[in-house]
Chain A
Amino acid sequence: MMRFEPAGAEALLLVLADQPDAQLPPRIALLAERIRTELGEVLTDLVPGWTSLLLHYDLMRTDHLQLAERLKPMLERWLAEPYVAEAGRLHELPIWYGGEDLGEVARLCQLSIAQVIELHTAVEYRVGAIGFAPGFAYLAELDARLALPRRATPRTAVPAGSLAIAERQTAIYPQSSPGGWHLIGSCPWPLFDVTQTPPCPLALGDRVRFRSIAERDFVGEGGRL
């Protein structure tokens, strides 16, 4: 299952598991942090995937073969370590559940709007991956009773801060962008801001809970209607 694959002339892919699972994101985050500490000077970027870690390296300092040799003992140690459930910081994000698709989602799931909000706020989610757009964090795992396929026709512009769901995942669009997920609410806090360090408050493996707030509190927290 675990293996190294060259990914072009300047990157190495570590395949860490066959299937994603809830424990993997915080463990991949830990491994990435360790690799960054020990091998950071020869790497330009480390990109976690659902079951993998892509290492972009500096070809003038190393190559895929040398890098694989240096990684082997680190991976052996990582594999032997027990999983720590509390790993990852916990974030509580305020949400005004007033998204454009909320009524439609309730109807398709045969639930009331209050039940949709209750099911969505009941779960502690994990950041499973960050991609698609800057700061776009895939959160899992959404209650099965809220699972819906993506919209048949994606929107050309989803407003920044939109909380959305699709399949067994939920996410907030940090910037306005095209998007095919169902919009159920809005978060007043910025989730990607280049003037902040780090620019994205959520990191891989972090835990996220949502708290339902009223429209006036959304505006009070800086949200834009």
Chain B
Amino acid sequence: MSGLRVLKPGPQSLLQDGGRLGWQHLGVSPAGPLDGHAAAWANHLLGNPWGTPLLEVALGDVELQAEVDTWVAVCGAQMPLSVDDQPQSLWTRLPLHKGQSLRMGFARSGQRAYLAVAGGFIAVPVLGSVSVQLREGMGQALQAPDLLACRAASFSRSASVPWPYVADYSCTPLLRVITGADAASFEEDQLQGFFAQTWQLSPHSDRMGARLVGEALQPPVRQWSLGVGRGAIQVPPDGQPIILQADHQTMGGYPLLGWLHPLDQGRLAQCPAHHSLRFTPISIGDAQAELREFYRFFGR
């Protein structure tokens, strides 16, 4: 099998696909890309179906050498991208010839970029998915000199993501929240406090959860652990919310204030530590309509 040879793996580069679905009842996290927007565009540019295995590169510092003629696309965090030292555009598909080396420098804005290859990377699935979940020991982070296996492919011309869909990760995001679950058990001023203040992203955030730092909320008490999903906003006793991300646990016992809009989860994942965050409510109907449109476009 041919593919891309890893010369520099970067601090945390993980193969991801559409996620490990169908095993949460046994405590297995779904994993999958942290930024579904950037990942979907990277695959789409190459004509790959939804959930085709690609590489999630956190922070950058990756170098790969092609052992095959193929095409690639990098979407997401602004990492200086080059092929044989020639600068290249992100959010664009480009050819990569056998012997050429592709470099992704450190991210200037955003945290994670997605490197997709025509036809996708080929790896042995665990429980139906190639998504790497480090905490559960499912797969491993990229190492040198791994081979990211893929087949030869070609396109007749380049293509780019239309500019309105190219994300800007520098501004303070206004993230939309579907309230619910235990929201009714929070005191009214506590809910207002959540939406009124500017939060900061804690450096202790990871693929499991984004931790917020701000003026503490007073959560109600929840007694019995229940199934929890991605985007759930937990409020533990210290009053600092945790938003569950792709590698979330399957059950949790903390009170839930609501859920982050699925299409805003990727934006959250692109924020560096100490970045400012603000929240605003959205109705479940509006969120679902927008999400359906997104899924329809990407053929999910």
Contact = CB atoms under 8 A, between A and B. Distances in A.
Interface in B248-284: 249-251, 258-259, 261-262, 284
Contacts of A135: 26-27
A132 B284 contact: no
A130 B24 CA distance: 9
B229 A54 contact: yes
A149 interface: no
A129 B286 CA distance: 34
Contacts of B225: 49-50, 129, 131
A192 B126 CA distance: 13
Given A49-B224, A136-B27, A10 B229 contact: yes
Contact of B21 (A13, A45, A54, A130): A45
A219 interface: no
A6 B284 contact: yes
A9 B27 contact: no
Q: Which of B27, B291, B295 has the most CB of A within 10 A?
A: B27
B262 A131 contact: no
A47 interface: yes
Contact of B262 (A10, A51, A54): A10
Interface in A129-152: 129-136
B54 to A, nearest CB: 20
A46 interface: yes
B249 A49 contact: no
A60 interface: yes
Interface stretch (A74-82, A109-117, A197-205, A208-216): A197-205
A202 B138 CA distance: 20
Contacts of A129: 225, 251
A48 interface: yes
A11 B300 CA distance: 17
A196 to B, nearest CB: 11
B249 A7 contact: no
Contacts of B137: 175
A32 B26 CA distance: 13
A2 to B, nearest CB: 14
Interface in A2-16: 5-11, 13
A8 B138 contact: no
B287 A9 contact: yes
Q: Which of B126, B138, B224, B261 has the most CB of A within 10 A?
A: B224
Contacts of B224: 19-20, 49-52
Contacts of B134: none
A53 B227 contact: yes
Given A48-B227, A199-B127, A130 B25 contact: yes
Contacts of B138: 194
Contact of B27 (A10, A19, A32, A131): A131
21 contacts: A6-B180, A8-B180, A8-B231, A8-B284, A9-B259, A45-B23, A45-B24, A46-B24, A47-B226, A47-B250, A49-B225, A51-B226, A52-B226, A53-B227, A59-B295, A60-B295, A130-B27, A131-B225, A131-B249, A199-B26, A199-B127
